[in-house]
Structures are given as structure tokens and as C-alpha cells.
A and B are shown apart, each in its own frame.
Chain A
């Protein structure tokens, strides 16, 4: 996407067939919902081709980073087209071959691209059935589709296969009506959990990630990094590096790099580069950042407003005012960013670990001064993304170096570079003033979120008086270093904004329930009018074995619920807190989720388990250390992500709702992690933690404060 002065980058969407359209919505979900029909091609040939051998190649701009969409998308096509799953080959994230896509984020693959993909496969089936009827001289309604073959009902000798009809070519026949999607009750491939298409490759080491790719004559490029964000180069001496055998030194504008045919030799050459830097004053750290965020966020945007806040505050029988905080969190995928670029015959091809191949293509073209049609981005398997592989800077670096040197160049970031160049989940603050009436109903909800964004800020509970406001840039799109209130780049992180908002909302609900001496599940059910949420809470309670009690009960049971990406989720957890060390041991988690039609139940459960496990990081241990623009955490020794000993038993429960089209699955569960654990810690100890992560020192501090009170 081209950067345009004064306008948010994410406001631009390139449409198929060229041209730029400006969309004003701030929520990419709503934006895609409105524009999906225009953005995704109508012609089913853009999504699939049927070869002479009967194999079906499916083209999708979505990428596979672990979420299982290589398989779930193939299931959708197999179901709607009427072929075996084993007959499908997936081509993902190749900008030359796949229909345009904005990127793989926001739990949008199944709920936004899915309908377009299913519709394309269904339309192909309709057209092929029509062609088969003409070929066989029977009415179309006498045909049955079995494993990619149209068979005359009751006369199996008469048949014609998709392969014979399509012959690997574009199908130009147009049928003047829209195919109907298959009903959930008739599913034969969707709704099941077949072996993942990437399974054998991934357990044999055959699966290729960007850093695994090799081209003849390629060089490994290492880029010089400043010691902190905001630093500028003062002096540079590359003579010693250039003197090493086989080293190429590149200096072009802001880009300083050394290249070598061997990765360890390239690393040694970078060590030999002498640079000095002008450093900005480092003022902020992980404790002072919150005051800075509050001071810098002067403009509040209304997200929702109803009733009379002033009157509600005066009329409440009890009011509760709380401030919640959360630190910066790294994406830390196990695969650091990598890209391989080759410039050949005026065309740039870049294999990149990216969640956004099409926007990456456009950025590469803009930076290199090429037309977008002369740039191709191909996405191999991506080793985790979680929102962090949207900026694609490594692809730009590789492409620039390939253009400058005329040789294929691979840029694979080290772990320290991965931490330095990350677009972190922003530190954030939420302030809530809430109140209850005589009947125990929520009569006041005055909510302001700073720096996290408004996703997940809506209150799922019924209240007559609510005001919800958001300040500062939200985290739906990357915000580069030097822009906004943060000392380095921030961006979307699995469940962006919602992790902070749900932590604050669901903690506040628990505070009110505890003050009234009401069981927290009962308090929630009492204040909910949304039947879907009640059902999901009940499903979680049944699976968990929830027994009503006022908190703190000493049992260490917690509860939290949220609505995200169209899915409803309710989570319950049991924890034990060691009063001597402040360590929280999560014993078990139960999570119930209503996500509409489930395309692949095991895949959906894996996303729930994965989200909750990952969420335990920002909840208990992950809190980026920095000094101004200097990132102090550079590896997993000091930045602690959840390990096996921290991973609890998780039971995921899928609440059946086949009346609803498939909803998002990658993010909803993770949004409940902070609150469910904070509420369980309160139930165990009576100490209320208002800041994430709830590291042992903060737990001890809270326990001491409670003891002193």
C-alpha cells in the first residue's frame, strides 16, 4: 500500500483491476464486510482450476501460519465442488496466481474469504453440472456429483468427469443463476477434521519456510541496526568488513548491509562494521509509559453512548472506579522474519514470511520504483505470525539488496532483530467508572480505553447508561516508530485491543459481583439479555463443573467471556497461587465457543487451546523491557513465553450453532485470558490485580497490600 500523507495507510485498499478506493471505516472487519463482494472476484476461475488429471488447484491469497487454513479452505472447496479432499492442491499467498487479498489477520479467512471461496466452488459445480448434462443428454437434475464425476442417477455407466469437462482450462461457460451453498446438515467434508494437508511435510522437515529456500548464487544479507529506535547514524566504517574475503558491502540511503554467500560469514562481516550513533534521550520505561499515554491522549472518540451518565452516577447505590494497565507484548513467533528475493529480467520475485503478500508486493514495488505487475510475492509456510508479520520490512530489505547487487539475496532476521523490529502490542490503560442499582443491575458504565483501540470495548451486558470512549491510535494496523505515543513501532497482536479491553471489562464485572456478594456467573447471567452469551456461559459452566459461590472463595476459580470476530466465548479457569513466591499455577482451563458453523472442529479447538496458552504469556510473564527506543529484551532468556510446565490442561467446547455462517476462530479465546486468570487469582487470594502481566513480584505486592489493609 502506498503511504499517502495525512491518511492512514490502512484506509487504502487496492481493488482488483487497479485503482485505489478510500474507505472511511476504522474497523477492517466492517470494511471487509461492506467491500467483500467488490474486492473478491466474481469469476470462479480465479479461485480454482481443474486439471486433465482431475486434480483441483485452489488459489487463495490467505497464507498458512499454523491456523490450519490450508486445510479448512480445501475442505470448503471439496464440499461445495463435490470432489475428494485428496484431489485438492492449495496455492496460498502467491500474488501472481491468487486473487487479491488484504492479508491474513483479524480472524477473517473463514468468515470473510470463506463465503467467496465457497460461492466460487459452488458456482463451478453448477456450471460443470450444466456442461455434464449437455454432454450426457440428460436434465441436470438427473445428475449426481460423486468424487468429481457427474453420474446419471440410476445409470452409473453414463458419466463424465470434471477433468474431462474442464481439461485444465478456464471454464468460460456462464450460467445465469447463483449456486446455493450446501446446508450444514448435508456436509460431507466440512464439519469433519481430516488429516491436515500440511501434516506430513511438517513432521518430516520437508515443509519449507522462507529461510529454507535456496537459489544458485544467492547471498545472505545482514542489515546494520541502530542500538535504539530514533537513533541516527553518525559515523560508519565498513573497511574492515569489506576487506573480508567474499564480502559485499551495500550502503544506500538508510540501508547499510553486508552480504556473503555463507550466513555465518555474513554475520562475522556485520561484526566487523564500525558505526557510531546519535541517540535520542531515553525517557520512558515500562513503569513511566502509562502516565505518558494518559498525558498524550487528549482526543477521545465516542465508541458508544446511551442514557445519562451523570444521572446514573448520582443514582447508583454503589460505584466502582478502577484503572487497568497492561505492558507491551512481543509477537515472538518461533520463525523470525525471512525473505529471499531474486531480480531477473526486470521482475522482482520475493519469497517472504508475511501475513500480507499483496500489500507487501505493493510496498516493494513502491520502494523499488517498479510497477506492481513486475513484483511477485510468494508466501511459503509461515512459522507463526499473530499479527506481527504484516509490515514485511524484511521483504523490502531483501528486494532492495537483490536489486542493488543483482544477485538473489536472503534476509533472515536474528532473534535480536526480531525483538528490535517487532510491532509490539501496545501498552494500554483503561479507566472504568461503573455502578449498580438496588436490584444488582449494572446502572452505570463509563469506560475509556487509552492506546489499545476499541476492539472488544463494547459491553456485552445490558445497562441503560453507558459511555464508551477510545483515545489514541488503535492497534488494528501497524504504527511505525516515531509516530504516536509509543517509543517504537506497535501493531496488531492476536486479538488486538480486545485482550486489554476484555481484561478490564471482565475484571470490573467481577469486582462488582464480589462487592455484592453474588456468584460471578450468576451476576453475569443476571445482567445479560443476549441469549447466545448466556448459552455459551452455561456450556462452559457445565464442562467446568462451576459451583456458585461468592468470591473470594479460596478455590481459585475464575470466569470471563467476550464477543470477538463474530464468535462468542466463555472461559473458566482454576489456579493456585503460591503465597511465598507469588507464582500463579494455572491448573486447568475450560473454554466454550459458539463460532457458528464449524468447518474443522479439531482445528477450531487447536486455535482455542493455542490462543489461551499464548494468552498466558501477556497475562503472567510477558512485559517488554525497554529504555526509550532501546529494546532490552533480545531473546527468550529474559522474555519469557509460556513453556510446557506453564501450559495447563485446556478443554475446548464447541457450542453448536449451525444456523449461523462460520465465524472467526483464531482470536476470540485469547481475549479472555487476562480476565479469567485475574479473576481466578482474586478468588484464590482476595487480591485484585489491575496490571498485566501478573508477574510474581506484582502478585506478592498485591498480597502484601491486602494483608496490610
Chain B
């Protein structure tokens, strides 16, 4: 029943033994102890579990682990490098773009995927892209501000 699934996780080769119906979210949270990706709805609606697979934002709660075989998976734990926060993470702090913090990993990963695809997105594009990620605390305008500022800062520094 169990397959051996190999993929890259936050830059490191990773192998897991898993059943076909194992969801990526539970593999991350249970098998690998990476609890940054959150359960929020279990049906791919809220975005709290968003991770980036081969550059695209996906919902880990409805993504079978088998589907990421051979692919490159980035979670919130993989954003910072060498003790330095990713520009998006720093920008979220600078703009007060979180309150309870529970949706934050998913927000960051959605934004990360957006900026990889579109380094300088228009305001409306940011809003449209983030619309499928839910926040109950009401940090929306600060999240949008943080993403736009990070895009600007990154564009300047490269």
C-alpha cells in the first residue's frame, strides 16, 4: 500500500513512505513535524495550508503527497535563509500584516508564489491573487501593503 515518495522540501532531498491517499498537509505536520502550514478548513477553501510546489501556490490539505513526487516543495519554514528573513516576512512585520498569525504562513506562501510569477504586480492583481486566502482578524489592507512593499523592495535590490 505504501509508496516511497521522493521530493525536495525547502531545498533538501526528502523521502517519505506514504499511502496513496496521504495528504501533503499531514505529511508535513505529522511525519515531518513542520507545523507552520496550518489546517483551517480541510477542503482547500481557506488557504491556511498553502505551500508552494514548483513555483505554484497549492493547498496542502487537498494535495496528495504522491502528486509532489520529484517536485520542489517550499513551506513557510523554508522562506528565511541563513538567519535572514525573506523580504516578504520582514515586510509583514514592518506593516503589521498579521494579528493571530494563524493564516500568516498561508498568506506568505501565496504571496511568495505571486511574486515569483509577477515580481511587480499591480494592486488589483495582489488583491485578486490573495482573495482565496482567508483572514478573520481583518489584517487585509496591511497584508496587501506588505506584499506591495516587498515587491518594490525586491525589485530595487535586484
Instruction: Name the B residues within 8 Å of A203 (CB-CB).
Output: 76, 85, 89, 92-93, 98, 101, 104, 108
A614 partner, pick from B42, B76, B137, beta carbons under 8 A? B137
Stretch in contact with the other chain, from A89-97, A329-337, A568-576: A329-337
Per the bound structure, the CA–CA distance linking A609 and B29 in Å amounts to: 32
**CB of A387, distance to nearest CB on chain B (Å):** 12
Per the bound structure, the CA–CA distance linking A385 and B132 in Å amounts to: 21
CB of A606 within 8 A of chain B? yes
A334 partner, pick from B21, B34, B108, B136, beta carbons under 8 A? B136
CB of B103 within 8 A of chain A? yes
Chain A residues 129-174 with CB under 8 Å of chain B are none
CB of B39 within 8 A of chain A? yes
Q: Are B134 and A643 in contact (CB under 8 A)?
A: yes
A273-290 vs B: 1/0 string, CB under 8 Å? 000000000000000000
Q: Are B77 and A205 in contact (CB under 8 A)?
A: yes
B131-156 vs A: 1/0 string, CB under 8 Å? 11111111111111000000000000
Q: Are B85 and A200 in contact (CB under 8 A)?
A: yes
Q: Are B104 and A202 in contact (CB under 8 A)?
A: yes
Q: Are B99 and A414 in contact (CB under 8 A)?
A: no
Residues A333 and B101 in contact in the complex (CB < 8 Å), given A610-B138, A611-B138: no
CB of A264 within 8 A of chain B? yes
Q: Are B100 and A381 in contact (CB under 8 A)?
A: yes
A205 partner, pick from B22, B34, B139, B143, beta carbons under 8 A? B34
Stretch in contact with the other chain, from A46-54, A64-72, A464-472: A64-72
Stretch in contact with the other chain, from B43-51, B52-60, B114-122: B43-51
Per the bound structure, the CA–CA distance linking A606 and B23 in Å amounts to: 35
CB of A198 within 8 A of chain B? yes
Instruction: Name the A residues within 8 Å of B131 (CB-CB).
Output: 643-645
Residues A641 and B105 in contact in the complex (CB < 8 Å), given A334-B40, A335-B40, A383-B100: no
**Chain A residues bordering chain B, tally (CB within 8 A):** 58
- Number of A-B residue pairs having CB atoms within 8 Å of each other in the complex: 161
User: By CB atoms of chain A within 10 A, which of B43, B93, B99, B131 has the most?
Assistant: B99
Instruction: Name the A residues within 8 Å of B133 (CB-CB).
Output: 644
**CB of B107, distance to nearest CB on chain A (Å):** 10
CB of A635 within 8 A of chain B? yes
Q: Are B101 and A202 in contact (CB under 8 A)?
A: yes
Instruction: Name the B residues within 8 Å of A262 (CB-CB).
Output: 26, 30
Binding site for A on B (CB under 8 A): 21-23, 26, 29-30, 33-43, 45-46, 48, 75-77, 79-80, 85, 89, 92-93, 96, 98-105, 108, 127-128, 130-144
Binding site for B on A (CB under 8 A): 65-68, 195-196, 198-209, 211-212, 214, 262-264, 332-336, 381-384, 386, 412, 414-415, 602-603, 606, 609-614, 635-637, 641-645, 647-650
Q: What are the 6 closest A-B residue pairs judged by CB atoms, nearest first?
A: A205-B36, A383-B102, A66-B100, A613-B138, A66-B99, A610-B138
For this complex, 23 residue pairs linking A to B, each with C-beta atoms less than 8 Å apart, are A196-B96, A203-B76, A203-B93, A203-B98, A204-B76, A204-B85, A214-B33, A335-B40, A336-B40, A383-B101, A384-B100, A412-B39, A415-B40, A606-B96, A610-B99, A635-B41, A635-B43, A636-B45, A637-B43, A644-B128, A644-B131, A644-B140, A647-B140
